[in-house]
Amino acid sequence: MAFYYADTIKRSLTLVVIVLSFAIFIWDINVSLGVATGVLYVAPVFIGIWSRQRWMVFIIAAACSILTIIGYFLSPEGGIPWMSVANRILSLMAIWFTAGLAYVNQRMEREKQILSLFPEENPNPVLRVRSDGRILYANPASGPMLNSLECHVGGYLQGDCLSKIRQASESGSPIEFEYKVKANTYSVQVSPATNEAALFIYAVDITERKRAEEEASLAVRIFRHMKEAVMVTDGAGTIKYVNPAFTWITGYTAEEAIGKGSRLMKSGRHGPEFYKAMWDTINERGEWSGEIWNRRKNGEVYPQRLTITSISSPAGLATQYAAIFFDITDLKKQEQEANYHAYHDSLTGLPNRTLFVDRLKLALSRARRNSSMLAIMFMDMDGFKRVNDGYGHATGDLLLKGVAMRLVGCLRESDTVARFGGDEFTILLEDIKDMGEVSRLAEKIICNLSETYLHEGQPLMITPSLGVAIYPASADGEYELLKKADSALYAAKRSGKRCFKLYSARMDRQGR
């Protein structure tokens, strides 16, 4: 308030001095011209316009006043025309300079008022510049930006910022642009000042926002090019986003999926307990990962590897769920093939030794539990080596395939036949009633496998020999049964081949 009254008094004194000086000059009233002009020298002090930037104007105004006073006292009484003219001219100059100083002071005061409107506490940079880029004002928050630009108040802005300043000055309209200053990025608005030959620059540091936008953009690009499907739902399970891989895997386009519930792809293969366990894990740990069966748009049910992650708000509430999955149909097929080859003979497709022993263990458990009998047959082909050596391994392989087919044809679906290697085969018979059943099957196998094989029109003759061991009569464990059946096989070969023998204890004493 005090500043306001002082400013009013200064302006009033300035106006009085100027009016009085003009009156003296025009009407030459009977007042000491020197004293009146001297007041013009004192006026700048009253209005407080002294500043280092305007010292030359002040000196000229003072000199004019002093010369006017000297001229007045040196003039003879009555005045000399040329001295009168000089006095009036000098007086006019003093008036003009004083008026100029008053105008400058008024302009400075107006600039101070304008600058006082700038929020010094504003956390964002605020500048006032001329159209040539010179900085007239900068608030404290502008410091880091100006330091990066290696600029200061009184200096000049350059580059793209200067071109935008000129463009805004010429068009008279605000211009917004992004301005990168070393490691930082600013959102800048250049606005022409109303009734002022200057412009305001408002800047906001958007470095973090740009970094976040770039990270989000990178994430979107990654999602779009991922081979894994990405699906984002809200807390209620409504689909909000899917990537192209989602469409490729499920058959549903983004338009068909977004807005629908995630149950859209439910296969029906899993019961309520499966989903309850899954969501219990998500709620407890924030993530679940595992295999699940889902349904494509065309109705095909397929296996997928799925990971669901919950996205929580600062309050800890799950607001979104991100699901990443991929089709593992081919992987399952590969696993099945690998598993098949691990447990099956590659030539005949029959179970191999590993699978046969596993099935024998299970069969023995059932037999013990049910107090039933089972039989093991160990078989090899008499004369196979002669055919294999005489006609080649390719012919021998074809012959083994034929033997496997005939052997499977002799058995029940519940029985197991396996190839142990070479021309050795094993047979597992479960739930046998008596030895007569075993004997009949053995004779059937010998009869069928002894029939002539034709290869390229040539007859090939091989015959089987079989050894039989019975649980529990012969042995109790799987390896003991196999060993007893092997002993019985060699007893059959010693007795003339093309026959079968049931294991007996004396066969162990005879050996091979």
What pLDDT is stored for residue 363 in this prediction? 94
**Which of 454, 465, 458, 456 has the alpha carbon at shortest distance from 492?**
465
CA 165 to the chain's CA centroid: 39
Structure tokens at 394: 């390719």
Band (pLDDT 50/70/90 cuts) for residue 29 is very low
CA 288 to the chain's CA centroid: 19
**Which of 263, 266, 258 has the alpha carbon at shortest distance from 294?**
266
As beta bridge partners, residue 477 has: none
pLDDT in tens, 166-192: 998 888 889 999 888 888 889 999 988
pLDDT in tens, 486-506: 999 999 998 888 899 999 878
Is 28 an active-site residue?
no
Band (pLDDT 50/70/90 cuts) for residue 25 is low
Range with top average pLDDT, 48-52, 210-214, 252-256: 252-256
Q: Would the pLDDT of 94 be above 70?
A: no
**What's the rounded mean pLDDT across residues 10-22?**
60
**Which of 435, 462, 437, 460 has the alpha carbon at shortest distance from 449?**
462
pLDDT in tens, 213-230: 888 788 778 777 788 889
**What's the rounded mean pLDDT across residues 99-118?**
58
What pLDDT is stored for residue 314 in this prediction? 77
As beta bridge partners, residue 502 has: 468
Q: Would the pLDDT of 40 be above 50?
A: no
Q: Would the pLDDT of 344 be above 60?
A: yes
Instruction: Please state the pTM of the whole predicted model.
Output: 0.52
**Which of 480, 506, 478, 512 has the alpha carbon at shortest distance from 494?**
512
**What's the rounded mean pLDDT across residues 361-366?**
95
Element (H, E) at 303: strand 301-312
Eight-class DSSP state of 248? H
Q: Which of 423, 431, 434, 486 is catalytic?
A: 423
pLDDT in tens, 430-471: 999 888 999 999 999 999 999 988 888 788 889 999 999 999
What pLDDT is stored for residue 195 in this prediction? 65
Structure tokens at 166: 């000129």
Residues 69, 73, 75, CA angle at the centre, nearest 5°? 115
Between CA 367 and CA 394 the distance in angstroms is 40
